[in-house]
Amino acid sequence: MLQNSSKKKKIVIAGAGFAGLRLARKLRKTDFYITLLDKHNFHQFQPLFYQIATSGLEPSSISFPLRKIFQHSKNVHIRLCEITEIQSENNILKTSVGDFGYDILVLALGADTNFFGMKNIKEKALGMKTTPEAMRIRNLILKNFEDALVTTDESTRLAMMNITIVGGGPTGVELAGALSEMRKFVLPEDFPELDFSKMNIYLLEAGSKLLGAMSEKSQNKVLNYLQNLGVEVMLNAQVKDFDGTNIYLNDKQIHAKTLIWAAGVSANTVSGLSQESITRGNRLKTNRFNLVEAYENTYALGDMAYMTEPDFPNGHPQVAQTAIQQADNLAKNLLNIQKNKPLNQFLYKDLGAMATVGRNLAVVDLKKMKFSGTIAWFLWLFVHLMAIVGVKNRVFIFVNWVVSYFTYDQSLRLILQTSNPNIGNR
């Protein structure tokens, strides 16, 4: 067990995503003894995973070493591990590297891909919730094109070239747009022997609209953008099965070896939590202070937290802004507890939503205005660039984007395979 020789209160933060990292940074100059746990030694900027998958950025550009962030923070201690169990009666969190005692436990483990119980799809489709998974998509797509060059069967060649994305949220929309630009500007130059007029990019959405959380104006605009880019958008399309070559819907099937699943998320769970505290999507029921129901010193943030308020009777959206705002509020409340001050209830501030489809094509929904096109695209670039941790990372990303904008090219089309099946390989 990690020992704390001082009498500072011990806060264990499980997860270094948007919520966990934000909370640790807010408390790093306080009188708490903080242990930050994660299975990676870096923070990942998830909104740009699709650019890793489509060779637009290198993984290190959207990842930032945790130890560098907290180099000068004496009260923050980082450990790499898998969380295995909570023993709340003893205030112990069990992990793959030992036990951690705590006075306060904060669960910020994020969410994973939800395959809705479909075994074949879980085994054969590709999720995109981590940097290694994004690299795996890039590897598979590029390897399929290499294999398409040498296959003698036309049907197999088309299956290797076709790509299907399931999920019409921001991830699916942005990935479909990026792939369509690759098909037009990049792939014909790399693989001149292949006929890319025969390559199909499908975007399947089970609902009746893309970008369900955005305005009708933005939904229609994005649909129009994608169709003009040659993406075959299929609404009210529910996937039933996938055998590795064919995707089966209710009334038809799609011939494609690549199925990217961006259709939903399910919160990561930890053994030992009361079943009464767990609700739909594996989220943890919390009060307005992010305190998990039935616990006195365990909090949940971000994707793991299910909190209702008048404007959000079904819980808050599982997006970065929710995680960041909840972490800010919890940091203030933990300090207020120390000072015997009143606590602040969490109130989500909707800052708007945005999505990009491709070069000069984006939509933005703000509280009092909605717009699209080039201005929206530049705003999307600026917001995402400023949200990246580290000046060096911002510079690398900015340079990559500028070069790509003027050359219509991505220079990171590398098939990087390792002996570890979880990194880069199918």
What is the predicted pLDDT for the residue at 6?
A: 52
Task: Indicate whether 424 pLDDT > 60.
Answer: no
- The 10 Å Cβ neighbour count of residue 12 is 26
**For the residues of 184-218, what is the DSSP string, one character each?**
IIIHHHH-TTS-GGG--EEEEESSSSSSTTS-HHH
- The 10 Å Cβ neighbour count of residue 322 is 24
3-state secondary structure of 152: coil
According to DSSP, the residues that pair with 365 across neighbouring strands are 353, 370
d(CA 392, CA 385): 11
pLDDT tens-digit map of 263-317: 989 999 999 999 999 999 999 999 999 999 999 999 999 999 999 999 999 999 9
Is residue 166 within 8 Å of residue 259, measured between CB atoms? yes
What is the predicted pLDDT for the residue at 423?
A: 39
- The 10 Å Cβ neighbour count of residue 400 is 18
What is the predicted pLDDT for the residue at 264?
A: 86
pLDDT tens-digit map of 59-110: 889 999 999 999 999 999 999 999 999 999 999 999 999 999 999 999 999 9
d(CA 319, CA 297): 25
Give a three-class secondary structure readout of 227-243: HHCCCEEEECCCEEEEC
pLDDT tens-digit map of 200-225: 999 999 999 999 989 999 999 999 99
d(CA 253, CA 220): 26
* Mean pLDDT score of the chain: 93
Going by DSSP bridges, is the β-strand pair 111-113/265-267 parallel, antiparallel, or unpaired? antiparallel
Helix (H) or strand (E) holding 106: strand 104-107
What is the predicted pLDDT for the residue at 425?
A: 42
Any idea what DSSP says for residue 13? E
Going by DSSP bridges, is the β-strand pair 284-285/305-306 parallel, antiparallel, or unpaired? parallel
Q: What share of the chain is helix, strand, coil (3-state, %, to 5)?
A: 35, 25, 40
Q: Where are the alpha helices (DSSP H) in 88-215?
A: 119-124, 131-150, 154-161, 170-181, 187-190
pLDDT tens-digit map of 238-258: 999 999 999 999 889 999 999
d(CA 330, CA 413): 42
Q: What structural domains does the chain harbor?
A: 9-39+81-112+266-338 (3.50.50.60), 119-263+359-407 (3.50.50.100)
Q: What angle do CA 346, 216, 171 make, to 5 degrees?
A: 65
pLDDT tens-digit map of 311-367: 999 999 999 999 999 999 999 999 999 999 999 999 999 999 999 999 999 999 998
- Percentage with pLDDT > 70 across the chain: 96
Is residue 209 within 8 Å of residue 219, measured between CB atoms? yes
Tell me if the pTM is above 0.95: no
- 409: nearest Cα among 190, 198, 226: 190
